[in-house]
Structure 1
Amino acid sequence: MNTTQTEALISMVAVLGLFVLMVAPAVIGILRDRRLDRQIRRAAAAPVTGPSDQPAASGPARGTAPRRPARAA
């Protein structure tokens, strides 16, 4: 292999590496969207439980502080 071929090979590998770096975020986003779509479809197909299945709330949740309006400084 002479230097011209070596330089061409290095340039081709560099271009392919940059191409992968540019395309990878798009592919990851597409895969993530497909996963979310599957989760949404699965949730839509799941049976909905009514409020009668849950115990009635008798007051505020435990460990929560009452809400207070913000005061101007």
Structure 2
Amino acid sequence: MNGNQIEGLVGMLSVLAILVLLVLPSVLGIVRERRIDRQLRESQEGRGSERDQKSSSRSTVPSTATWYAEARRSKKFVSS
């Protein structure tokens, strides 16, 4: 390899490193959102089977986490 090839390789690797640094926060955010959505879905499914087993006259109030997630989803729809 001569000097020009090495410079080209270093330049290409640095561009790829910058691209990874720019894309990484988005990918981590997507993974986090999917995990939260899955947890919310599982908790709602669990709550549904729990209602079938016990009958209670007391109404269930959504948790703060549910309100937070719903607010974030509504913001996503509005901003898109």
What TM-score do you get using the length of structure 1 for normalisation?
0.64
Q: CA deviation at 1:22?
A: 0.4
Name the residue aligned to 1:39: 39
Question: 1:15 Cα deviation (Å)?
Answer: 0.2
Between the two proteins, the alignment pairs up a number of residues equal to 52
- Which residue of the partner structure matches residue 24 of structure 2? 24
| Structure 1 gap segments, 5+ residues each | 53-73
TM-score relative to the length of structure 2? 0.59
- Relative to its length, the structure with more helix (as a share) is 2
Offset of residue 12 of structure 1: 0.2
Greater relative contact order (CA < 8 Å, ≥ 6 in sequence): 2
Q: What code does the residue aligned with 2:33 have?
A: D
For each residue in 1:22-57, what CA deviation from the matched residue of structure 2 results, as whole angstroms up to 9, or x when unmatched?
0000000000000000000011111257488xxxxx
Tell me, which stretches of 5 or more residues in structure 2 are unaligned?
59-80
